[in-house]
Structure 1
């Protein structure tokens, strides 16, 4: 796939042909795939939780059929299901000159994307729908597909999610200023998923390891937390029902303005990867 785009024509997102350069484990439950390609020099991010679309070949195929252009999605949906590339939403973990890192959660042979992530090797192909740095709006501070945006007057933050939000939360924590006050809650499947990193003195990270068959401990941990006084901000992501419950607690029980809470449902318990990925508003 080849696309030529001038700055005048540039849209916020563009399709980029990509090749897998490297694959390495990240803790016990994630694998980091490094994509490369000449066009990836134009990939940028507008926030630490930058979402992109990743298109993968269908099982047994190598060709990735993805329409491009402003009306790509309508034409993608018009393709017969057995001809469409697999499309999933992920977070950019890092973007360098000509390279993009994406972390995939390994959760078994439960769908085409997780199956691909479990067997991916260098040389495999993909297509990324990602921010194009030539889009003029980015120079003016426009944000597209990135939602972490604490208000300037936020005295503290709550950042919480499960392993599917770990790449985004890692980026958020790394971007926190030295004077940040934040309570970070991460629920992961295994002790080996814990990552120790240097943190600003006002940032506390609580790791919760979920055992086999355990219900989520994340809600209980957030409910039990002592939060600072003053105006706050929350960023919540992970299983749709979980983040909806966390949002309800922060708004109803803690009195946090709902406009100061971002919540994103990355997956739905009991549903396939193809289920809708956004929780409904309360």
Structure 2
């Protein structure tokens, strides 16, 4: 079992967006302590100050219980939010597009922050489609920027880890032949969270268990050691064509077992509870509701 380092959290309470540290007793609000330096966790990442934040919470009584806060997306305004597709064995079969072999390079696409919500919030199913699907993924947060980062140095550029339910409107990803943008960016169809776990060493990423459950039923389960494009490769590859900067978010791929995999497909519906869990990171939990137009 991989232990979870002290998590850092973005949250809303008492009418304001805040940030702090999760302890065994609750949430220590550090917003006022660092208000002259940081507006949010992106600025904490940019300053390399995650450990400073954690140290500041040491011995402090909690400001809130977890039940009294609303979890926010940890990095609200990343310069880049990049997703890696088709990164586990058998995942390609879910696309049912006639291709069988993994490509030489990863599939990639961009999502907008508005397409995600925080831990404990409901995913929103739009009236235009009933095909809301789930995808549980490990997500890395860049701490040190760079271009053409060598594989052997890739982990030096990761500041923190979190989880993603990379929710998808499945029929809309097939509206065009060579892109999935319109199926991946509906407001609040995915979630990121619940918090940021500081990245300390390779054991937190190289071979951890990743699992997605819907209403308690295991739908996806695999280990990151089986990824076709590992985390070092992803950092190296992405930084070849674009400069990575602190706070960039990279969602690193989902195992087989999405709702589209079933025959007939099993789409998410209001009342469902989806849990994405990874060893050493935590559990991201969300419900589902219909959009009110």
TM-score interval for Structure 1 and Structure 2 normalised by the shorter chain: under 0.3
Q: Normalized against structure 1, the TM-score is what?
A: 0.28
Q: Please tell me whether Structure 1 or Structure 2 has the larger radius of gyration of its CA atoms.
A: 1
Structure with greater contact order relative to length (CA < 8 Å, sep ≥ 6): 2
Q: Normalized against structure 2, the TM-score is what?
A: 0.27
